[in-house]
Amino acid sequence: MTPLALLRRVGQAVLVLFLAYTAAYILLAALPGDAIMARYGAPELGLTNEQIAEIRASYGVDRPLVLRYLDSIWAFVRGDFGYSVQSGAKVSDLLAESLPSSLTLAAVALVGSVFLAVVIAFTASYGKGVWLRRLFRNIPPFFISLPVFWVGIMLIQVVSFQLGLIPVIGASEVESLVLPALTLMVPIAAPLAQVFLRSIDEVREQPFVAVAKARGASTSWLLWRNVAPNALLPVMTMAGLLFGELIGGAIVTEAVFGRTGVGNLTAQAVANRDTPVLLAVVVIATVMFVTINLIVDLLYPVLDARLRQRSGGGSGSAVPVIATAAEAGPTAADTGATATQAGPHIGPHTGPHNEGGPR
């Protein structure tokens, strides 16, 4: 990627960030009630409307929306996330407390689901016996249909309450990661496996595989040397996109398991209309989403020699196909379109550098 292109990507990222922030701000402002109501509006406090208005004024939320919006933008630019209205804690402190635990969970779940997806896809393609392959082919659609919430509760019920293997309360660091990670793996592994499976199917149809086979390659050689590497690109794209799923899943998972984390923080901020916390979460999620997709883009040429050659030569404009391939990831990410669009473009054409079986 040229410096100019990189700059353009960063500019895009900032624009996405700004739009996400603004959209979140407007949506939050449009809801009935706000953080002041959340804290002081409960009937058990018995505050009159005048008293609430007084408190509202002392927080400055009676000013026009536009002014408050500009204020908050300016504060964000200076890196000031403000204070949680609900707890009075610094938003940056709250994030510092919950981010590490969430990132650990997300990382473990992502690695776990890639592994799970690989196992499912390989078994479904090369497993012994038609029944086994058929069974594994049906796992992804089955997994997708399971609600995260339900999976979490079932895991707790069976593993913790019935079998007594892992305590929900008072578990060690590692123990407390296992069930949430497993829960989160289900909705992520499923689409990954599906994309991987599909792309293995497509790569297997490619002439170079037939050539390799004709030259005497064994199944496992074909799988590891020819098919898998070529089927990996769309999976990468998908993995980047699945970050969104990871955030959504983490909210549910952390709430079910009562884990400290950004998900739980978000769930409680939503319940309490804690606007500063929610805006900070939106910004952080957007930054991560954009960054991960940028990394995925940058990784394409590393994984695919053909992409590296042409875009590395700086003659991107001469090769329109590549331009679209490189663009497909981020564009799909930004618009929320499915990654499979990006997948097939790249997968089937990646023959050249992988030709040749055992000599």
Partner 1 sequence: MKKRRLAWIGAIAATAIALTGCSGGGGSEGEGEGGTLTYLEPQTWITLYPPAGGFYPNGGVLNQITDRLLYQNPETLELEPWIAEELPEVNEDATEYTFTLREGVTYSDGTPLDAENVVKNFDLFGKGDPDRALPVSEAINNYDHGEVVDERTVKFFFNDSSPGFAQAVSTINSGLVSNDTLDRTSEEFGPGNAADIIGSGPFVVADEEIGSELNLTTREDYDWAPPSREHQGAAQIDGVDFVVAGEASVRVGTVTSGQADIARTIPAPDEGQFEADGLELVAAATNGVNNGLNLRFGHPLLQDIKVRQAIIAGVDRQEIIDTLFTDSYPLATGVLAKTALGYTDTSSAYEYDPDRANELLDEAGWETGSDGIREKDGERLVLTFNEALPQPRSKEVVTLIQEQLAKVGIGVEIFPGDQVAQDEAQRSLDTIQVFHSMVGRADFDVLKSQYFSGNRNALVNLNPDTDEIFDQELDDQLAEIASVPTTEEREAASAAAQKRLTDQAYVLPLFEEPQVYGLRSEVQGFMTESIGRPSFYEVTLGQ
Site for partner 1 in 132-151 (CB under 8 A): none
Binding segment toward partner 1, per CB under 8 A, in 19-27, 66-74, 173-181, 234-242: 173-181
Residue reference for tokens 């289900």: 186
Binding segment toward partner 1, per CB under 8 A, in 267-275, 278-286, 287-295, 322-330: 267-275
Q: For residue 5, what is the enclosing H or E element?
A: helix 3-30
The end-to-end CA distance of the chain, in Å, is 36
Query: Quick check: 320 binds partner 1 (CB under 8 A)?
Result: no
Report, in Å, the least distance between residue 43 CB and partner 1.
5
Report, in Å, the least distance between residue 154 CB and partner 1.
10
Please tell me the distance from the alpha carbon of residue 307 to that of residue 237, in angstroms, as a whole number: 15
Task: Provide φ and ψ at 127, rounded to 5°.
Answer: -60, 155
Our CB check for partner 1 shows the closer of 3 and 32 to be: 32
Question: Virtual CA dihedral for 36, 38, 42, 47, nearest 10 degrees?
Answer: 0
Our CB check for partner 1 shows the closer of 97 and 201 to be: 97
Among candidate residues 128, 119, 251, the one with its CA nearest the CA of residue 189: 119
Please tell me the distance from the alpha carbon of residue 283 to that of residue 252, in angstroms, as a whole number: 19
Beta bridge partners of 253: none
Binding segment toward partner 1, per CB under 8 A, in 112-120, 134-142, 234-242, 339-347: 112-120
Residue reference for tokens 């500063």: 276
Residues 74-77: contacts with CB within 8 Å, 24+ apart?
76/21, 76/279, 76/283
Taking CB under 8 A as the criterion, which residues in 54-93 touch partner 1? 54-55, 58-59, 83-84, 86-89, 93
Query: Quick check: 217 binds partner 1 (CB under 8 A)?
Result: no
Binder to partner 1 among 133, 225, 345, 349 (CB under 8 A)?
Answer: 225
Please tell me the distance from the alpha carbon of residue 145 to that of residue 339, in angstroms, as a whole number: 19
Query: Quick check: 264 binds partner 1 (CB under 8 A)?
Result: yes
Report, in Å, the least distance between residue 318 CB and partner 1.
26
Our CB check for partner 1 shows the closer of 86 and 206 to be: 86
Report, in Å, the least distance between residue 34 CB and partner 1.
7
Report, in Å, the least distance between residue 159 CB and partner 1.
9
Report, in Å, the least distance between residue 93 CB and partner 1.
7
Query: Quick check: 266 binds partner 1 (CB under 8 A)?
Result: no
Our CB check for partner 1 shows the closer of 74 and 115 to be: 115
Helix or strand or coil: residue 37? helix
Our CB check for partner 1 shows the closer of 252 and 326 to be: 252
Please tell me the distance from the alpha carbon of residue 204 to that of residue 3, in angstroms, as a whole number: 37
Among candidate residues 150, 153, 336, the one with its CA nearest the CA of residue 243: 336
Site string for partner 1, 23-52 (x = CB under 8 A): --------xxxx--xxxxxxxxxxxxx-x-
Report, in Å, the least distance between residue 15 CB and partner 1.
31
Binder to partner 1 among 256, 322, 339, 342 (CB under 8 A)?
Answer: 256
Beta bridge partners of 69: none
Please tell me the distance from the alpha carbon of residue 228 to that of residue 209, in angstroms, as a whole number: 11
- Supply 73's token pair: 């933008």
Query: Quick check: 260 binds partner 1 (CB under 8 A)?
Result: yes
Report, in Å, the least distance between residue 13 CB and partner 1.
27
Our CB check for partner 1 shows the closer of 69 and 83 to be: 83
Residue reference for tokens 């959209």: 23
